[in-house]
Structure 1
């Protein structure tokens, strides 16, 4: 029994739940007080370095989510074995956890190789992926600010493959896609908050991805959104240290003694 049962179908919740959570969770970060002592970049750096305005980012994210919702509805319509809004037979929790882990691995694998290729192919970077990197100083609601083609290929197709390969039900997919949405927002929030559960359990976190958005880490830390497995295996992992700035906050820097291969 879940709280939405009887109100909307699992397929509808799986489509729109992650989008709603994206704006709620990202909006909380955007509306927090200045909190300079926890920021990885100052407000001045954000204003000076970023190449796109906040309204433009909001429009870009909404466009991507429109395509995301359209594909999700088609996916659920094609794969659903029950009537929309009907009861869903869930496998045991243990099986769902295995499906969750498989989906995480599939999504990480797909996004790592597509993301890395978009950096290595000059045409794709210049015309597509550079749009995401126009946010040199990332912030929460800009997590899904991408070229529409990148959003479709990297995020939406990655989600489709994770769902299909793992074999999860639409109800399990609700939790998986909501979790992935929150994790992606957190990785771009630009804050290193004490007690953040994602920082405790995931090496691939806010600072890890912030390194990738900076010049020194441009060719490293491609992994997203969960684990840095492929970065470690394929030599694109850049370890970092968090250094306190005199004016407050932190800065993620390449670890001392680290050398580019």
Structure 2
């Protein structure tokens, strides 16, 4: 479908759709989270351990999404990748797959090194990245709850680089960033739902990132949102086992005891 015939540009869709996807997909997980059967942490543990209210989280996410939207609009204007220039072009599935794979690698590489640096630099962690870790027990719509500077440096700049270096069009970016958004929400949802395709296709999943949010895993499992490549290469990978929790749900427990110290 050519949305241009409805007066909706690819640039506008590429800016707005991932935001709508974020809240819609999060809402699905909020419903699943009402049952203890799928949770990696009990609701009681969530209320006890988390250091920020859900109202504050919503405000923080909306602020970050506003900044991301502004940067996206500027990026589309500067690059000149407008819908009129690309609407008649139809890249092959191979070309699209290549662009998506490159974008995934670029985004993963940027986020790994920036994320790791924010943990190892005491000033940046204390004043910036620690805001995200106020959610010791992550949940879906808290995925983008960050300090505004972290959101800009980690997510917005990382997304811009993946868009530019992959060479994708604004139309392709609608699908890529919507997919990346869904994956990020899934990683933070705090739920282990049987049959979840992300858990089957990616080792970097909800349980993997939950380990990172715990005190014993704060120096491990930095990779996000797709692969575990850099953690494997640079020795920051923490293996875990998934076990059933008393009272329902599951728990991700590290299997390498020496790294818990």
Paired residue for 2:182? 182
SS of the residue aligned with 1:115? helix
Displacement after TM superposition at 1:61 (Å): 0.1
Contact 2:108 2:223 in 1 (8 A): yes
Distance 2:220 2:188 in 1: 16
Instruction: Give the gaps of 5 or more residues in structure 2.
Output: none
Listed as ranges, the gaps of 5+ residues in structure 1 are none
Paired residues for 1:125-204 under 5 Å: 125-204=125-204
Q: How does 1:200-215 map to 2 (within 5 A)?
A: 200-215=200-215
| 1:259 matches 2:258 | yes
Measure the CA separation in 2 of the matches of 1:63 and 1:91. Answer: 35
What is the CA deviation profile of residues 80-116 of structure 1, one whole-angstrom value per residue up to 9, with x for unaligned ones?
3445697252321111100100000000000000000
Corresponding residue of 2:109: 109
Please give the alpha-carbon distance, in whole angstroms, between the structure 2 residues aligned to 1:86 and 1:168.
Answer: 10
Of the structure 1 ranges 240-249 and 56-65, higher mean CA displacement relative to structure 2 is found in 240-249
Distance in structure 1 (CA, Å) of the matches to 2:72 and 2:231: 29
1:222-261 alpha-carbon deviations (Å, 9 max, x no partner): 0000001000000000000011112111110002x55329
Distance of 1:243 and 1:208 partners within structure 2: 13
Answer yes or no: is the 8 Å Cα contact 1:223–1:229 preserved in 2.
Answer: yes
Question: Using the alignment, how far apart are the partners of 1:151 and 1:84 within structure 2?
Answer: 31
- Given that residues 41 and 251 in structure 1 are in contact (C-alpha distance below 8 angstroms), is that contact kept between their aligned partners in structure 2? yes
Name 2:55's counterpart in structure 1. 55
Separation of aligned partners in 2, 1:84 and 1:70:
21
Matched pairs, number: 259
1:30 to partner: Cα distance? 1.4
- Indicate how the Cα distance of structure 1 residues 56 and 88 shifts in structure 2: closer, same or farther if over 3 A, else same: farther
If each structure's helix is expressed as a fraction of its own residues, which one has the higher value? Answer: 2
- How does the TM-score come out when normalised to structure 1? 0.95
Q: Give 1:35 deviation, angstroms.
A: 1.7
Equivalence for 1:67: 67
Equivalent residues of 1:60, 1:145 under 8 A apart: yes
Change (3 A) 1:63 1:85: farther
Aligned CA-pair RMSD: 1.6
TM-score with structure 2 setting the length: 0.95
